[in-house]
């Protein structure tokens, strides 16, 4: 009688708890030797050997070489294998669409950056079309050695909620005007600034921190909040939407919807810069990158505009500190992580609020795509070996 071939789901269901622990350790920490795995997990040699054999048979781990031990013995080195598969992560941003393809243990397989034809303040048709093209191109170049696509994660410049009834108000459904998700692949959606915050927590300047805030300043503004080790989304996915803080606010002034984002965004910064640029200071900079480059060279007019903008950002940070007291704030985005502004932001926060560490992002423009990659990989890991 012909023996029935086990499905991948059957094989996964039969994994022992120790095999699952070995997989999670390699997923979280990367390549490790047998002695390292045994020490970390407290497994005996026979248990570790059988656990690795289970995973090896499924293609979930592979041996990548040997390392010399302190006593002259060689130890086999293992990492996740092709059978574990890969994930696709996309940052559907306001100016660029960034794509990363990676193994579950974050080895880069492919990346690409697509520049949108114009700045997109809202998630619309052009972003949807770009995402559709990037996903199609990525699926077309998939190589056998990458294994199965386990999850597709997309970071969006909008609120993201799971409740079907509330989605229309967020704008997240605009993603699907031109984009149709591939069949059979889990789709994970998250707000772009939340993704950046998660990336900073996993392998950025906020690594391992339980409490911090990530504030993005670029074409748009936003905040990702991590308190007690958890990302705070809020009831309607609007936690951290600091672009909706009341602005302007003062005697005789009426706050406008999203007025703060309109005021502090990159486009408004350049409008103010051009309006205030002295006639004897040479040509006004065409964009924020040129403005900051001039400021870095000591150009007085450019430095004055950067300082003023940094003080405005410091006021925003101070408002956030007064609400959540995160202790540490990471500044990111196309403008926020510029080192020239950091001293002025710190001075303003020290003057207006509580003692708070202010740091520039260490991940730069890749923060968001790395964050959604982590979300997709975490989901894939849970799919394969459980929580």
Q: Are residues 220 and 327 in the same domain?
A: yes
Q: Are residues 189 and 303 in the same domain?
A: no
| Alpha-carbon span 319 to 221, nearest angstrom | 14
The pLDDT-based confidence of 6 (bands split at 50, 70, 90) is low
Q: For the domain that residue 108 is a member of, what is the CATH number?
A: 3.30.420.40
Q: Which domain holds residue 351?
A: 207-362
Q: Is 148 within 8 Å of 85 (Cβ atoms)?
A: yes
Q: Are residues 127 and 31 in the same domain?
A: no
| Alpha-carbon span 53 to 191, nearest angstrom | 39
The pLDDT-based confidence of 292 (bands split at 50, 70, 90) is very high
The pLDDT-based confidence of 1 (bands split at 50, 70, 90) is very low
Q: Are residues 37 and 72 in the same domain?
A: yes
- Which of 47, 65, 83 corresponds to the end of one domain? 83
| Alpha-carbon span 257 to 268, nearest angstrom | 16
DSSP string, 51-77: HHHHHHHHTSEEEEEEEE-TTS-EEEE
Q: What is the pLDDT of residue 70?
A: 67
The pLDDT-based confidence of 317 (bands split at 50, 70, 90) is very high
Angle at which helices 300-324 and 342-352 pack, to 10 degrees?
Answer: 40
For the chain, the domain total comes to 3
pLDDT in tens, 168-219: 777 899 999 999 999 999 999 999 999 999 999 999 999 999 999 999 999 8
What's the rounded mean pLDDT across residues 349-370?
95
| Alpha-carbon span 137 to 117, nearest angstrom | 19
Q: Is 102 within 8 Å of 372 (Cβ atoms)?
A: no
Query: Could you give the 3-state DSSP secondary structure of residue 360?
Result: strand
- Percentage of the chain beyond pLDDT 90 is 81
Q: Are residues 248 and 291 in the same domain?
A: yes
Q: Are residues 259 and 337 in the same domain?
A: yes
Q: Are residues 323 and 374 in the same domain?
A: no
What's the rounded mean pLDDT across residues 84-90?
98
User: What pTM does this model have?
Assistant: 0.92
Q: Give the strand pairing for 86-92 and 96-103.
A: antiparallel
pLDDT in tens, 25-66: 999 999 999 999 999 999 999 999 999 999 999 999 999 998
Q: Is 331 within 8 Å of 217 (Cβ atoms)?
A: yes
pLDDT in tens, 237-276: 899 999 999 999 889 999 998 899 999 999 999 999 999 9
Q: Are residues 126 and 185 in the same domain?
A: yes
Q: What stretch of H or E contains 187?
A: strand 187-191
Q: At 22, phi and psi to the nearest 5?
A: -65, -45
Sheet holding 74-80, edge to edge: 32-33, 74-80, 61-68
Q: Are residues 345 and 373 in the same domain?
A: no
What token pair was written down for 363? 């991940």
Q: Is 309 within 8 Å of 317 (Cβ atoms)?
A: no
- Which of 39, 55, 83 corresponds to the end of one domain? 83
Query: Does residue 3 carry a pLDDT above 70?
Result: no
Q: What is the pLDDT of residue 211?
A: 97
Q: What is the pLDDT of residue 14?
A: 86
Q: Are residues 274 and 328 in the same domain?
A: yes
Q: Are residues 103 and 196 in the same domain?
A: yes
Q: Are residues 33 and 154 in the same domain?
A: no
Q: What is the pLDDT of residue 290?
A: 95
- Percentage of the chain beyond pLDDT 70 is 97
What's the rounded mean pLDDT across residues 114-138?
93
- Which of 37, 55, 83 corresponds to the end of one domain? 83
What average pLDDT does the structure give for the chain?
93
């Amino acid at each position: 009688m012909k023996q029935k071939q086990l499905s991948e789901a059957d094989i996964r269901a039969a994994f022992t708890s120790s095999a699952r622990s070995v997989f999670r350790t390699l997923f979280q920490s990367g390549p490790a030797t047998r002695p390292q795995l045994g020490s970390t997990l407290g497994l005996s040699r026979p248990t570790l050997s059988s656990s690795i054999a289970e995973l090896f048979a499924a293609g979930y781990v592979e041996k990548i070489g040997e390392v010399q031990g302190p006593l002259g013995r060689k130890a086999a080195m293992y990492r996740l294998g092709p059978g574990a598969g890969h994930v696709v992560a996309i940052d559907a941003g306001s100016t660029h669409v960034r794509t990363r393809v990676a193994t579950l243990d974050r080895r880069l397989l492919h990346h690409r950056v697509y520049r949108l034809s114009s700045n997109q303040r809202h998630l619309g048709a052009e972003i949807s079309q770009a995402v559709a093209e990037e996903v199609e191109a990525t699926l077309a170049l998939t190589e056998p050695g990458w294994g199965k696509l386990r999850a597709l994660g997309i970071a969006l410049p909008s609120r993201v909620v799971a409740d079907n009834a509330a989605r229309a108000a967020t704008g997240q459904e605009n993603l699907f005007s031109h984009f149709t998700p591939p069949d059979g692949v889990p789709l994970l959606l998250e707000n772009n600034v939340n993704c950046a915050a998660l990336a900073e927590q996993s392998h950025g300047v906020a690594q391992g921190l339980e409490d911090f805030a990530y504030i993005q300043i670029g074409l748009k503004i936003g905040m990702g909040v991590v308190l007690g080790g958890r990302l705070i989304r809020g009831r309607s996915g609007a936690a951290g939407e600091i672009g909706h803080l009341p602005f302007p606010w003062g005697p005789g002034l009426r706050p406008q919807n999203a007025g703060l984002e309109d005021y502090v965004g990159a486009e408004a910064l350049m409008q103010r810069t051009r309006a205030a640029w002295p006639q004897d200071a040479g040509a006004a900079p065409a964009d924020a990158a040129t403005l900051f480059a001039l400021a870095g060279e000591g150009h007085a007019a450019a430095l004055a505009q950067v300082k003023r903008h940094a003080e405005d950002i410091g006021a925003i940070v101070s408002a956030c500190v007064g609400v959540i007291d995160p202790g540490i704030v990471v500044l990111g985005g196309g403008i926020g992580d510029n080192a020239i502004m950091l001293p002025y932001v710190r001075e303003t926060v020290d003057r207006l609020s509580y003692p708070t560490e202010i740091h520039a992002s260490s991940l730069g423009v890749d923060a968001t795509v790395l964050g959604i990659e982590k979300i997709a990989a975490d989901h894939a890991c849970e799919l394969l070996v459980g929580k």
